[in-house]
Homo-oligomer: A and B are copies of this chain.
Amino acid sequence: MLTYSSMDQEARREEYKKLSDAYAAYKERGLSLNMARGKPGAEQVSLSTGMLYVIPYNDDFKGEDCPDMRNYGGLDGIIEAKRIFADMLGVLPENIFVGGNSSLNMMFDTVACLMEQGAGAEPWNKQGNIKFLCPVPGYDRHFGITQYFGIEMINVPMTADGPDMDMVEKLVSSDSSIKGIWCTPKYSNPQGVTYSDETVRRFAALRPAAKDFRIMWDNAYAIHDINDTPDTLLNIFDEAKKNGTEDMILEFCSTSKITFPGAGVAAIAASENNLKLLKKRYTFQTIGYDKLNMYRHFLYFKNLDGVLAHMQKHREILEPRFNMVTSMLDKNLSGLDVATWTNPNGGYFVSVDVNKGCAKRVVALCKEAGVILTGAGATYPYGKDPEDSNIRIAPTYPPIEELELAMEIFCLSVKLAALEKLI
Contact = CB atoms under 8 A, between A and B. Distances in A.
A39 interface: yes
A182 to B, nearest CB: 14
A292 interface: yes
A262 B42 contact: no
Interface stretch (A25-33, A48-56, A318-326, A365-373): A48-56
A39 B71 contact: yes
A45 interface: yes
Contacts of A53: 53, 55, 57
B39 A285 contact: no
A292 B148 contact: no
A71 B286 contact: no
A293 interface: yes
Stoichiometry (number of copies):
2
Interface in A160-175: none
A290 interface: yes
A284 B48 CA distance: 27
A108 B71 contact: no
Given A40-B71, A149-B116, A262 B288 contact: yes
A281 to B, nearest CB: 7
Give the interface centre of A48, A145, A284, A291 by most chain B CB atoms within 10 Å.
A284
Interface in A56-106: 57, 68-74, 100-102, 104-105
A49 B102 CA distance: 25
Nearest to A37: B72
Given A101-B289, A116-B149, A288-B262, A70 B55 contact: no
Given A53-B53, A100-B100, A72 B261 contact: yes
Contacts of A40: 71
Interface string A8-44: 0000000000000000000000000000010110100
A7 interface: no
Nearest to A48: B70
Interface residues of A, number: 52
Interface in A259-302: 260-263, 281, 283-293
A332 interface: no
A72 B70 CA distance: 25
Nearest to A257: B72
B42 A68 contact: yes
Given A71-B261, A260-B71, A144 B284 contact: yes
Interface string A322-338: 00000000000000000
Contacts of A287: 102, 104, 141, 261-262
A176 interface: no
B290 A101 contact: yes
A57 B49 CA distance: 9
A108 B289 contact: no
A227 interface: no
A102 B289 CA distance: 8
A303 interface: no
A125 interface: yes
A188 to B, nearest CB: 19
A143 to B, nearest CB: 10
A112 interface: yes
A33 to B, nearest CB: 15
A102 B39 contact: no
A49 B70 contact: yes
Contacts of A108: 284-286
A283 B101 CA distance: 15
A292 B260 contact: yes
A49 B287 CA distance: 21
Contact of A104 (B71, B263, B286): B286
14 contacts: A37-B72, A39-B71, A39-B72, A46-B70, A71-B260, A73-B262, A104-B286, A112-B112, A116-B149, A147-B284, A260-B292, A261-B287, A262-B287, A262-B288
